[in-house]
Amino acid sequence: MELKKRKILFLDRDGTICYDDGAFGSEKFSYKEVIEKTRPLEGVKESLKIAKDKGYLLVVISNQAGIAKGRFDECDTHYSNKLLQEKLGGIIDGFYYCPHHTSGKNNSGVIADNAKRDLIFHCDCRKPEIGMFLQCENDLRNGKLQYIDEELIANKTTYENDRTKIFRKDVEPATVDKENSYMIGDKWLDILAGERYGVNPIFVMSGEGSVEYNHKKDKQKELPTKYEIFNDINEFIKERL
């Protein structure tokens, strides 16, 4: 039986659908406090509902290098996603994240003593690579989507780099309708990843977007060739979908 095609909004997380309180000066404060303050940007809950009503699956695709750098644990990422999901009324269908980092270095150019060195390498999932998209595509074909792991949160544990243990929830099997799907983010690596995967890249000026845009030649050696720009995800959904 031929699988149904599904339109997907692939969503960067911090700075795109929720406040990025850890974006600047991130070594000067507790990430535990940042996580407790997880909350969606103004209007995002209502905008995402519009997209959902138009038949889109909503899937978060997020780099979480703080795990590799030892700033927070994998269970904290799930807890933060849980807080965000609760404040969005449970509207997100899937949460994918990359716990790796290529160097593990902080803004001062050093690797912290508590960094998780087994997660420091050049992986195929950290954006602008497309591993998270491919994993989502494969999961969806098999009637699954990666989701919040309540057991991981309760036990305050990690997957210990065994990605086969990641919790996935059941969904209707489908394929990705790339022509009518989008990747939305506030960084060039988000947009480049979307272009590489073959969906429509949308750059938003929220979060770090304005800084990224004004320093695009310095921020990213390779830039996407085609993308659209909006002030934020609310404007994109209301004007483009």
pLDDT in tens, 9-52: 999 999 999 999 875 555 556 778 889 999 999 999 999 999 99
Sheet with 8-11, strands from edge to edge, namely 94-98, 57-63, 8-11, 182-185, 200-204, 228-230
Domains parsed from the chain with CATH numbers = 4-240 (3.40.50.1000)
**Alpha-carbon span 206 to 217, nearest angstrom:** 19
**Nearest in space to 84 (alpha carbons), one of 186, 13, 172:** 13
Contact 130, 190 (CB under 8 A): no
* Cβ-based neighbour number of residue 3 at 10 Å: 12
Cα–Cα distances in angstroms (integers) from residue 193 to residues 54, 69, 77, 130, 206, in the given order? 24, 22, 21, 6, 18
Read off the pTM: 0.95
211 Cβ contact list (under 8 Å, min separation 6)? none
3-state secondary structure of 30: coil
Residue with tokens 């919790």: 167
Q: pLDDT of 141-199, one tens digit each?
A: 999 999 999 999 999 999 987 878 999 999 999 999 999 999 999 999 999 999 999 99
Structure token pair of residue 181: 């799907």
Per-residue pLDDT averaged across 211-231, rounded?
A: 81
Contact 42, 69 (CB under 8 A): no
Q: Alpha helix locations (H) across 92-232?
A: 131-141, 150-155, 188-197, 209-214, 216-219
**Alpha-carbon span 92 to 81, nearest angstrom:** 10
Residue 101 DSSP label: B
* Residue numbers annotated as active site: 12, 14
